[in-house]
Amino acid sequence: MIAANIMKAHDYEEVSILQNKKARLLAINVIHDTTRGPAVGGIRFMKYKSEDEAIYDALNLARSMTYKTAAAGLSCGGGKTVIMDVEEMDRVLALKTVARFIESLNGRRFTGRDLGISLEDLEIMRTETQWVADESAAGVGDLSEATACGVYHAMRACLEEVSGTDSFKGKKVAVQGVGEVGFWVAKYAVEAGARVVVADVNPGALARTVEDLKVEAVSPDQIYEVDCDVFSPCALGGVLNSGTIPRLRCKIVAGSANNVLGNEQDGNSLYGRGIVYAPDYIANAGAVIQWWFRQTAYPVMDKRDGREVIANIYLVVKEILRRSREKQQPPARVADQYAENQLKPEKTYRDMNWGM
């Protein structure tokens, strides 16, 4: 009933639970909103403590995708799929099962990579459905780099808000999580002239980043207390909460992690401390923007250069921060209002089969 209450409160369209006993699969597919277009959003493959936790994660992520695409001005909506990672799972069969379900939606749902999903996984899924992103050079390109590019432009807007200039020179950036996206975020910051400190629970990813970018490393717990200009969470969501926000020693929070705030009150807490926050679903929209303007599965009426639209994240974040300042409201709340204003006033369900 918790899921049903959330669906009614935030006007979700559909939640599906997929099960395949042979594969040991339990997956949740959520479609939040398709009034602007097909529900886009990646597949997350990870361990959850319970089915309820997985459902709650999928619900939050799908709604964030709706807001992300709406704020970016794209003609699509939001969805998400999570697969519960369990012991002795038949990964190939599980992925094919999810792909067959996605195919049955006839283009109403389009998906790609998220945490725990590799390029090889996408290729397996592409044997069963056409509604999966092709991240090859001939397809939509490296979406991890595109995400990081958007975060970089969001940081620029925040730096200008705080210091009057978008320059990284002389600034210090602390990056939490240097996997595929976080590595690129650190690289952008280094190349822009910032001093960068990184942390990751994965020793291999950390060693690679330190060696390639010549940056400083601290422990995953110490990263919250690094005295810096920008704290950039690029790992899991929910890391900014009542336990971690008081430890922050930064002026700005801008990263790629989805749903980085534990709850709405955490956005208020950042605002109360005077920390400038780039709302996550706006800062990390680079991937879906690049995908939308390079994909060929759906018609794009307003064809533009995706990289120019990613750069426009700078202007969107500046506008959010301006409204936050004028309304004296937290940027997280202002961003939700901004995104909701881009949605149609009522759901019409006029195109249930976008691919037909």
Question: Same structural domain for residues 316 and 240?
Answer: yes
Structure confidence by residue, pLDDT tens digits, 110-161: 999 888 999 899 999 999 999 998 877 557 778 899 999 999 999 999 999 9
pLDDT of residue 307: 93
Do the domain assignments include residue 138? no
Do the domain assignments include residue 300? no
Q: What is the 3 state secondary structure string of 9-30?
A: HHCCCEEEEEEECCCCEEEEEE
Cβ 17 vs Cβ 33: under 8 Å: no
CA 207 to chain CA mean position, Å: 25
Domain containing 116 — which CATH number?
3.40.50.10860
Range of the domain at 156: 143-285+312-340
Do the domain assignments include residue 301? no
pLDDT of residue 137: 59
CB count within 10 Å of CB 215 equals 21
Q: Which residues contact 348 (CB under 8 A, 6 or more apart)?
A: 35
Q: Which residue has the higher pLDDT, 300 or 154?
A: 154
Q: What is the 3 state secondary structure string of the chain?
A: CHHHHHHHHHCCCEEEEEEECCCCEEEEEEEEECCCCCEECCEEEECCCCHHHHHHHHHHHHHHHHHHHHHCCCCCEEEEEEEECCCCCCHHHHHHHHHHHHHHCCCCEEECECCCCCHHHHHHHHCCCCCECCCCCCCCCCHHHHHHHHHHHHHHHHHHHHHCCCCCCCCEEEEECCCHHHHHHHHHHHHCCCEEEEECCCHHHHHHHHHHHCCEECCCCHHHHCCCCEEEECCCCCCECCCCHHHCCCCEECCCCCCCECCHHHHHHHHHCCCEECCHHHHCCHHHHHHHHHCCCCCCCCCCCHHHHHHCHHHHHHHHHHHHHHHCCCHHHHHHHHHHCCCCCCCCCCCCCCCC
> For residue 204, is pLDDT > 90?
yes
> For residue 354, is pLDDT > 50?
no
pLDDT of residue 1: 57
Question: Same structural domain for residues 326 and 194?
Answer: yes
Region 46-50: what's the mean pLDDT?
95
> For residue 344, is pLDDT > 80?
no
| Least confidently predicted of 106-110, 180-184, 266-270, 339-343 | 339-343
Do the domain assignments include residue 297? no
Do the domain assignments include residue 18? yes
Question: Same structural domain for residues 100 and 239?
Answer: no
Cβ 218 vs Cβ 199: under 8 Å: yes
Average pLDDT score over the chain:
92
Residues in the chain: 356
Q: Which residues pair with 331 in a beta bridge?
A: none
Cβ 232 vs Cβ 211: under 8 Å: no
Options 80, 171, 172, 187, the catalytic residue: 80
Domain containing 209 — which CATH number?
3.40.50.720
Residue 75, Cβ density class (10 Å: 0-12 exposed, 13-18 middle, ≥19 buried)? middle
Quote the CA–CA distance of 108 and 127 in Å, as a whole number. Answer: 18
Residue type, position 186, single letter: A
pLDDT of residue 31: 96
- Taking the alpha carbons at both ends of the chain, their separation in whole angstroms is 34
Cβ 272 vs Cβ 129: under 8 Å: no
Share of the chain above pLDDT 90, in %: 80
CA distances from 68 to 9, 74, 134, 196, 270 (A): 19, 9, 21, 27, 21
Do the domain assignments include residue 351? no
Q: Which residue has the higher pLDDT, 5 or 148?
A: 148
Q: Which two tokens stand for residue 146?
A: 């595109």
Do the domain assignments include residue 195? yes
Do the domain assignments include residue 198? yes
Residue 169, Cβ density class (10 Å: 0-12 exposed, 13-18 middle, ≥19 buried)? exposed
Report residue 215's pLDDT band, with 50, 70 and 90 as the boundaries. Answer: very high
Q: Which residue has the higher pLDDT, 127 or 2?
A: 127
Structure confidence by residue, pLDDT tens digits, 58-78: 999 999 999 999 999 999 999
User: Is 80 a known active-site residue?
Assistant: yes
Q: Which residues pair with 196 in a beta bridge?
A: 173
Question: Same structural domain for residues 158 and 119?
Answer: no
Quote the CA–CA distance of 306 and 274 in Å, as a whole number. Answer: 33
Q: Which two tokens stand for residue 347?
A: 């759901």
Region 86-115: what's the mean pLDDT?
95
Number of domains in the chain: 2
Share of the chain above pLDDT 70, in %: 95
> For residue 85, is pLDDT > 50?
yes
